[in-house]
A and B are shown apart, each in its own frame.
Chain A
Amino acid sequence: MPGDSDSGESDFKARARLREKLLIKSFSLLSKSWLQSERDQCVLNRQLVRIVSESYFKDLDRKKKFHGIRYADSHKRAGYMVKWIMRFRPVQMMTEEAKARVLLVNEHFALTVAFKFLNIPPASVPPPLYKNLVYALRFRVLDANAWALSFFLLQSIYGLPPQPHAE
């Protein structure tokens, strides 16, 4: 029915806009404690953030529909979000003399968001492991489901137990 389709589209847009705002806020908080010189070297491109957000929902909704899933698990959310952040690289460099954090800013941003989805405190992750994760995002083939599996394992090891939800 046309009404259902319109309703679905409207719901999709609403969810995508909320996630877009969340990504913008998250990046703002992530870069808040950086040196001013680091903040000046990159900018979050809002056009790309919108594409990331909408692509994430289109992609994940397709999987949820196929498997009859109501809500995606946190490791799937993390895997699919990382995939689309890395595909479109919404943080853009403004310099040709970037510091390491800026050169790898999209990987760092993607993993920080993923760890929050997974309820993994970054302080619990060994630095050499983190370096490997950044390296894999930078140089290896991206597959959302493979990352979801990796995140499932990381969550099993480093994730905090879920908090009980109030009714």
Chain B
Amino acid sequence: MDTVAPTDLPETTETLLNWKLSNSDVQFSEEDFLNGFEAHAEEANALFDAAFAEGL
């Protein structure tokens, strides 16, 4: 039976194995996250109230 040595595999195989759509270069910052969170939370609560104004 014919076999194909791994070294004969096309480059696309390696590309597929290492495939990733995105790789953020921005590290998460707790400070940035909490900056303005209070106003964000108030908007979120208002959104909840609007969404459930007529009940569940």
Binding site for B on A (CB under 8 A): 18-19, 21-22, 25-26, 29-30, 32-34, 67-74, 77, 100-101, 103-104, 108, 111-112, 115-117, 121-123, 125, 127-128, 130-131, 134, 162, 165
Contacts and interface: CB of A to CB of B under 8 A. Distances in A.
A26 B48 CA distance: 16
A32 B41 contact: yes
Contacts of B28: 71-72, 77
Nearest to A120: B40
A125 B44 CA distance: 9
Interface of B: 18, 20, 22-28, 30, 33-34, 37-38, 40-48, 50-53, 55-56
Contacts of B20: 67-69
B25 A122 contact: no
B21 to A, nearest CB: 9
Given A74-B24, A125-B47, A116 B38 contact: no
Given A100-B52, A123-B46, A69 B23 contact: yes
Contacts of B22: 73
A34 B42 CA distance: 9
Contact of B41 (A29, A103, A104): A29
A122 B23 contact: no
A127 B47 contact: yes
Contacts of B46: 122-123
A114 to B, nearest CB: 10
Contacts of A25: 34, 37
A68 B18 contact: yes
Given A116-B37, A122-B47, A123-B46, 4 more contacts: A25-B34, A71-B27, A103-B56, A130-B47
A100 B55 contact: yes
A33 B51 contact: no
A22 B43 CA distance: 19
A130 B34 contact: no
Nearest to A19: B30
B38 A32 contact: yes
